Chain A
Amino acid sequence: MSRVTKFSGRDPGPSARVAGFMAHLRDNGLRLGVAEAEIAMAALAEVDAVRPEESCRALRAVCTGCKDDAERFDDLFDSYWMDMGRVKQKVVPGQTSAKNDSVHSSRDARGEDVASSGNVTAPDDDGGEANSGGTGKLIATKQKNLAHKDLRELVRPEEIEQAEDVARRIGAALRDKRSRRRIAAKKGDSVHFRKTIRRSLSTGGEPLRLLRKKRPDRTRKIVAICDVSGSMSVYSRVFLAFLAGLMRADTAADAYLFHTRLVRITEALRDKDAMRAIGRLSLMADGFGGGSKIGPSLMRFSETYAKRFVDGRSVVLILSDGFDTEPPEMIAGALQKLKKRGCKVVWLNPLKGWADYTPVAAGMVAALPFLDAFKAANTLADLMALEKELATV
């Protein structure tokens, strides 16, 4: 039996199918415009489009823009074109409700759960698995399973807005660091002598125009690493909202989650629909709320991602309580390695907000010598208050 999807006889033809596929990709968070659909058509004309693997290669080259997307692409391709011979009823997705259909969330705009399950945009059934028999789209599903907690239950849209504001301020406080060097600038604070003398040659050695220079602001990149293990679950809500806000406010920021392993969530959080971003996150953070392996996770970070994304202009924000199931030397080793890249390390610990808190957790004690700042953070308000203190890091 052919695996290729059968399309209904009434649909308008190949171009509509490609347009439908583009919409399918868009629904799954790939950022594609009208121009891409046009190139996709042209690309299909160039290859032997009858053979699925060739079409897949061609479309992958056109439609993806980064490694994460490229890795997901094959599944998305199969779910649309290789539907095991099932008949696809509707090629072009219609507007099914008055709501904005580009926002796929099982909650309505006020953040309340939509009462009926299994509508077009959220193919849930009681088992918690996406129903693969229907014609629904492949998107994040709401899971009832505790080990597979849906982060959307923790975070509400209005919080993200608030967090975005906080993240923007903290970002601004951390980000601009004046350079030691000066560069030419129209409105500078001192005279750029070399340039002035050189320019004076064209006026016969007479320095008619004084050129200036200033210390430019060098932007610093924020890398946030959030602990979502069991001991942190009370605070996860604040921190996840903060991360989502940070990613939306600062296009250069980078975010990671860890519990027993480390996941990069930057691409997922960049989704233009905030709630869908959190939904994608829950799929990635499988095992959320379990044990924590801070040391190995940080070690993995400093051995892999840090090599690409952390340099002397980065600030690494670690959001964790420091309760580790692994030996504390791991944390010290990982942080030492991380510090060698020249970055600043800021640890935000929710427990520090408690009265009479002393960092007794062995992991925390091991980490302290390597931190540039060690602050408390339980609520969004606390995070907001950090703005001034972090500016001096």
Chain B
Amino acid sequence: MTWTDLKTALAGDGYVASDDLAVALQLALSLGRPLLLEGAAGVGKTEIARALAQVRDTRLIRLQCYEGLDAAQAIYEWNYQRQLLTIRAAAEGGETGKAVEDRIFSRDFLLERPLLAAITQEVAPVLLIDEIDRADEEFEAYLLEILSDFQVSIPELGTITAVTRPVVILTSNGTRDLSDALRRRCLYTYVEYPDRVTELNILKARCPDVEARLADQIVGFVQKLREEDLEKTPGIAEMLDFAAALMGLGIADLTESPAVLQSTLTTLLKTQSDQAQVTPEVAGRIAGKAA
């Protein structure tokens, strides 16, 4: 499969990827390297993993990172409660010693967390490590080990080696700089906000019912809005919500009713100061330019 095939396949699934992103994805697949995606919130970094899983017809395993994420939540954990109950039951049944011990430290009592689950699948899944920049640096080091060896050591069970190599996609919003070691191991792509044509294609792929003229206006409006000095720039998901809201209200032209336009702006502007800044006059001006 070349990158153009991949791009077409993704487009068939409703994800319009830029050429840069398609090439990087194709390389990540063929070279077996993790792919690190950076970019502003709402440019479709997480969505690409879902689309890729759809295209390859495999599972998507997602690990959402947060501050304080540790190995127990990311890799594996013993099911303590079940182990305790088993010990109690075994003691009443007169079973003791090594047999019980072997039983409670078997795979049945292991709770698989995303990273372990990802390497034990029969069919290579897509592993999405979302917002890696939120996790602590210690966790990043741990992740590096797994990403390079694709194996996990469990003291009681021994080493579990990957059956298949998952396709790994990492995303980062840049709340902190990632370590050089992690960057070096990954392929890298910076995902920009899409240009007008791409965004129009996205809108058409996601909301096929929207009329061409309105679609053009919506995309033009959002693109112009991104140039305004806002606290939180609207992403693609917001644009789709906006389109859905307009269609739900049966609007055919953005400039037709300023009051309705203003009320639907709640789908695009997510902070109080942004809403205060984009007054009906400003919205009208932008809509006029976009039309």
Interface residues of A (CB under 8 A from B): 31, 33, 35-36, 39, 42-43, 46-48, 54, 57-58, 60-62, 64-67, 70-71, 252, 266, 303, 307-309
- Name the B residues within 8 Å of A307 (CB-CB): 231
Pick the residue among B20, B35, B183 that contacts A66 (CB under 8 A): B183
A38–chain B nearest beta-carbon distance, Å: 10
A308–B233 CA distance with the chains assembled, in angstroms: 14
- With A39-B31, A57-B19, A308-B175 in contact, do A65 and B24 touch (Cβ < 8 Å)? no
- With A43-B27, A47-B3, A303-B229 in contact, do A57 and B187 touch (Cβ < 8 Å)? no
- Name the B residues within 8 Å of A66 (CB-CB): 38, 177, 183, 188
Pick the residue among A31, A46, A308 that contacts B174 (CB under 8 A): A308
- With A65-B183, A308-B174 in contact, do A57 and B31 touch (Cβ < 8 Å)? no
Closest 4 pairs (CB-CB, A-B): A65-B183, A61-B24, A57-B23, A61-B187
Number of A-B contacts (CB under 8 A): 70
- Name the B residues within 8 Å of A308 (CB-CB): 173-175
- With A42-B31, A65-B188 in contact, do A54 and B183 touch (Cβ < 8 Å)? no
A382–chain B nearest beta-carbon distance, Å: 30
Find the residue from B28, B173, B177, B190 having the highest chain A CB count within 10 A: B177
- The answer to whether the Cβ of B184 comes within 8 Å of any Cβ in the partner chain is yes
- Name the A residues within 8 Å of B24 (CB-CB): 57, 61
Pick the residue among A36, A43, A61 that contacts B184 (CB under 8 A): A36
- With A46-B31, A308-B174 in contact, do A33 and B20 touch (Cβ < 8 Å)? no
Q: Are A61 and B190 in contact (CB under 8 A)?
A: no
A252–B175 CA distance with the chains assembled, in angstroms: 12
A60–B180 CA distance with the chains assembled, in angstroms: 16
Q: Are A61 and B27 in contact (CB under 8 A)?
A: yes
19 inter-chain pairs at a CB distance below 8 angstroms, sorted by A residue, are: A36-B184, A47-B2, A47-B26, A54-B23, A57-B19, A57-B20, A58-B27, A60-B20, A61-B20, A61-B27, A65-B36, A65-B180, A66-B183, A67-B190, A70-B189, A252-B176, A303-B231, A307-B231, A308-B173
Given A31-B184, A47-B27, A308-B175, 4 new contacts (CB under 8 A):
A47-B2, A70-B189, A252-B176, A252-B177
Nearest neighbor of B133 in chain A, beta-carbon distance? A308
- Name the B residues within 8 Å of A303 (CB-CB): 229, 231
- With A57-B24, A61-B188 in contact, do A39 and B33 touch (Cβ < 8 Å)? yes
B133–chain A nearest beta-carbon distance, Å: 9
A27–chain B nearest beta-carbon distance, Å: 18
- The answer to whether the Cβ of B96 comes within 8 Å of any Cβ in the partner chain is no
- With A42-B31, A61-B187 in contact, do A67 and B38 touch (Cβ < 8 Å)? yes
- Name the A residues within 8 Å of B188 (CB-CB): 61, 64-66, 70
- The answer to whether the Cβ of B257 comes within 8 Å of any Cβ in the partner chain is no
- The answer to whether the Cβ of B58 comes within 8 Å of any Cβ in the partner chain is no
A308–B173 CA distance with the chains assembled, in angstroms: 8
- Name the B residues within 8 Å of A60 (CB-CB): 20, 189
- The answer to whether the Cβ of B30 comes within 8 Å of any Cβ in the partner chain is yes
- Name the A residues within 8 Å of B35 (CB-CB): 61
Q: Are A46 and B30 in contact (CB under 8 A)?
A: yes
B110–chain A nearest beta-carbon distance, Å: 19
Nearest neighbor of A63 in chain B, beta-carbon distance? B188
A39–B31 CA distance with the chains assembled, in angstroms: 8
- Name the B residues within 8 Å of A43 (CB-CB): 27, 31
B245–chain A nearest beta-carbon distance, Å: 27
A279–B26 CA distance with the chains assembled, in angstroms: 37
A339–chain B nearest beta-carbon distance, Å: 16
A60–B184 CA distance with the chains assembled, in angstroms: 13
A306–B229 CA distance with the chains assembled, in angstroms: 15
A252–B26 CA distance with the chains assembled, in angstroms: 33
- List B197-238 residues whose CB lies under 8 Å from chain A: 229, 231
- With A39-B31, A43-B31, A61-B27 in contact, do A70 and B174 touch (Cβ < 8 Å)? no
Contact with A along B177-193 (1 / 0, CB 8 A): 10010011011111000
A47–B176 CA distance with the chains assembled, in angstroms: 33
A49–chain B nearest beta-carbon distance, Å: 12
A230–B31 CA distance with the chains assembled, in angstroms: 52
A35–B185 CA distance with the chains assembled, in angstroms: 9
